[in-house]
Amino acid sequence: MHAVIDGAVVAGLPDKLKTADCAGWDCLQRGALAPEAAQRAAYIVELLPDAAFTGWLLGEVNAGFDGWGVLTTSRQPLLAMREHSRDLAEVRTPEGRRRPWRWWDAELLDTLLPSLTPPQLDAVFAPGQQIACPGKVQWVWWQRLDGVIDRQVRELQG
């Protein structure tokens, strides 16, 4: 399982990652970043099931930071998912200009995914991938089933 975490939402994320007990992580922005940009960047993290970092993310971060990011399940390794996530983080306008896109925004996904064509969905979903948008009271899971987008809402037990 991978998490895409928004550093603009989770303060101090780069420092936390330096000591994280995870299988690996990387920034979604290419190249060297100035310290301020690194603090606000998004990162992809390969989570370990029983790790303290995973507990912190799904507990403290999920409870305290709305819109912190998404979880993805995939058969792909970290580097492949990093490249896939980087590709999604940049869109082209009809005029051909490149623009950043914070695709890990749950509200954006909720609006956009149902309106995408099958080829566009193929571009969003890596092979075997599901996207989970965690929330305080419910999680929304997105996946492709037989070429069609499937949205499931799972209420959290209180």
Task: Name the residue range of residue 30's domain.
Answer: 2-155
For residue 152, CA distances in Å to 116, 133, 139, 144 come to 17, 10, 8, 11
Please give the tally of structural domains in the chain: 1
- Residues 6-35 have pLDDT tens digits of 999 999 999 999 999 999 999 999 999 999
Q: Burial, 92: exposed, middle or buried (Cβ in 10 Å; 0-12, 13-18, 19+)?
A: exposed
- Provide the pLDDT confidence category of residue 145 given band limits of 50, 70 and 90: confident
Instruction: Report the alpha-carbon distance of residue 50 to residue 89 in Å, rounded.
Output: 29
pTM of the complete model: 0.93
Q: What are phi and psi of 16, to 5 degrees?
A: -65, -40
- Provide the pLDDT confidence category of residue 158 given band limits of 50, 70 and 90: low
pLDDT of 83 reads 96
Is the pLDDT at 91 greater than 90? The verdict is no
